A and B are shown apart, each in its own frame.
Chain A
């Protein structure tokens, strides 16, 4: 159905384009600020066109010792966390997709109840503390091992697989665990890929449990490092760089340092976004249930 563009079309495009500009412009600003020379910013009343390209904010940022720990912590938590997420969720979902398993009903109700009712912050905090998980990676990984929403998505995915495939493998003498990894998972690969990505993004973005349970700065993931940078950049710089660097403090361009941290923290997300956006369809199922 080909139609000529009408006035309405132009209005719609103008509006949508305006929204796109609103969506993007803050990022533009963050990026040019992170690469700006403070002198160049001060010169102009409105720093819109980048007239300077200066890496000193990044240099300053990378000079600190905490940033290295933070990047490493975030990578560990994201990799190990996503692995734990996928293993626990996949195995659990596969078992729960079997209607014949005795006790399945009780398990499902027990799991769904947790979506409706939770103990809240204090009992949760005390639980982690009693398990001696403070200042360990496990506190950023294990309490978020399963997302109930992804679990439900996976269960319904496994249900779409025809029984015969599994049964014929069983006749050949394969056990259920072998069947899951060798036959079932390869069939639902696209869903697995989508959920892996969503989990990985969530683990990279994790800051709350880190804030609650990491009391040592060396254990901070990027998100928490960034949060502290934003709250008090000079304190961070002073703590981090030690007495020798205090002399340099006056040269710090706080906004540049903050924005360089923002850019560094969101770079991994920007890198996976092209893959993520292919899985927007998965968002149809997941978008209905807000996390």
Chain B
């Protein structure tokens, strides 16, 4: 009997079930129970009646949010900022890694790397504080500008420069961390290739273009695809960053779906139903992106994330 075999195997693995149990409880409680709550997107939430008891209202929540200008502003910003990150943020660690590879003294290379990577380990709350101190009206930047006779600027409240500030501060925090994976890829290049090239008279630039770059191009391609996939996820989209840097003056340029959902629910007190609907919409787009990106990464012969 097949069943008896299965049962015996399960008994054989009894300790492993015990070991995995807390983790399964975690995933069920904090990942799957909230999924059940997604039905709120199609309901009019009533605190007294709870999620299950609230009344179904079909697509009315979606119709409502589609009528809101603020929603479309956040939607547009989410996409613009996501693409901006791919264009402005993605290439920088690649370039820095290739430059670091040109540093011959191992000690200096390590020094640069350690310095660039440090800010990655600070929360955006801390970085927000640092940036306010640096860029605010009385910050260092303005002290310097004033000293040089220029007019003061406050980048933090200027809608025109705020997106640049988003990309810039992201780079400042994460460029060092981003180089690590490319440096590892470069370390995997056979050093004999460089020797042979220099004997053949290839100069540094040629070596970079014909050895270093092809050596990491595969990694670059896969990371690019994974970045496209993660473009809308909360990590990739940058809730932490934007939430800690933005302010009402720049909502029109900086508000993304995640910050919008948070604000309309907890600061403005809008209905949970419509906020859930916005969240669901984002989750669906995010899912499509991640899924497609991962399939594409696999097609490139890479492992992908899953």
Q: A102-B13, A120-B282 are in contact. Are A23 and B115 (CB under 8 A)?
A: yes
Q: Indicate with 1 or 0, residue by residue over B128-150, a CB within 8 angstroms of chain A CB atoms.
A: 11111110001010011011000
B122 CB contacts on chain A under 8 angstroms: 205, 266, 269
* Number of A-B contacts defined by CB within 8 Å: 272
Check A288/B115 contact, CB under 8 A, given A1-B194, A280-B180: no
**Interface pair A288/B33, CB less than 8 Å apart:** no
Q: Bound complex: CA of A27 vs CA of B127, how far in Å?
A: 10
Interface residues of A in 223-248 (CB under 8 A from B): 223-224, 226-227, 229-230
The residues of A that contact B198 with a CB separation of less than 8 Å are: 1
Decide: A26 and B130 in contact? CB cutoff 8 A: yes
Chain A residue nearest to B205 in the complex (CB): A8
A261 within 8 A of B: yes
State whether the Cβ of A101 lies closer than 8 Å to any Cβ in chain B.
Answer: yes
Separation of A33 and B133 alpha carbons in the complex (Å): 9
Q: Is chain A's binding surface mostly helix, strand, loop or mixed? A: helix
Closest to B37 in A: A123
Query: Closest residue of chain A to B130, judged by CB?
Result: A26
The answer to whether B116 and A143 touch across the interface, beta carbons within 8 angstroms, is no
* B1 beta carbon closer than 8 Å to chain A: no
Do A290 and B27 touch across chains, with their CB atoms under 8 A apart? no
Q: Is A49 positioned at the interface, with any CB of B under 8 Å from its CB?
A: no
A22-63 vs B, Cβ < 8 Å mask (1 yes, 0 no): 111111011001000000000001111000000000000000
Contact of B19 among A114, A121, A180, A201 (CB under 8 A): A180
- Tell whether, in the assembled complex, residue B16 and residue A95 are in contact, meaning their CB atoms are under 8 Å apart: yes
* Contact A91 B23, beta carbon cutoff 8 Å: yes
* C-alpha gap A146/B21 in the complex (Å): 13
* Closest Cβ–Cβ distance, residue B5 to chain A (whole Å): 10
- On chain A, the residues within 8 Å of B266 by CB distance are 212
Partner of B133, one of A12, A258, A273: A258
Q: Which of B171-223 contact A (CB under 8 A)?
A: 172, 176-178, 180-181, 184, 194-195, 198, 204, 222-223
Choose from B26, B32, B132, B146 the contact partner of A45 (Cβ within 8 Å).
B146
B126 is an interface residue with CB less than 8 A from chain A: yes
**In the complex, B59 has a CB within 8 A of chain A:** no
Interface centre among A25, A87, A125 (most CB of B within 10 A): A125
Q: Can you list, as one digit per residue, whether each of A102-119 has a CB less than 8 Å from chain B (1) or not (0)?
A: 110001001110111111
Task: Pick from A101, A152, A223, A276: contact of B125, CB below 8 A.
Answer: A223
Whether B147 and A265, one on each chain, are in contact in the complex, defined by CB atoms closer than 8 angstroms, is: no
What are 26 inter-chain pairs, A to B, with CB distance below 8 A?
A: A6-B204, A9-B104, A23-B115, A26-B131, A29-B134, A30-B130, A46-B143, A88-B22, A92-B23, A110-B27, A114-B31, A115-B305, A116-B291, A118-B34, A119-B36, A120-B279, A121-B279, A123-B276, A126-B51, A126-B272, A145-B23, A177-B19, A223-B123, A224-B125, A273-B121, A280-B117
Report, nearest first, the 5 A-B pairs whose CB atoms are least far apart: A120-B279, A123-B37, A119-B34, A92-B23, A95-B20
Given contacts A107-B24, A284-B184, 12 further A-B contacts (CB under 8 A): A22-B172, A46-B143, A103-B10, A121-B258, A123-B35, A126-B37, A145-B30, A146-B23, A146-B26, A146-B27, A208-B240, A262-B133
Q: Using CB atoms and an 8 Å cutoff, list the residues of chain B in contact with chain A.
A: 6, 9-10, 13, 15-20, 22-24, 26-27, 29-38, 40, 51, 96, 99-100, 102-104, 108, 111-119, 121-123, 125-126, 128-134, 138, 140, 143-144, 146-147, 172, 176-178, 180-181, 184, 194-195, 198, 204, 222-223, 226-227, 230, 235-236, 239-240, 244, 258, 261-262, 265-266, 272, 275-276, 279-280, 282-283, 286-287, 290-291, 305-306
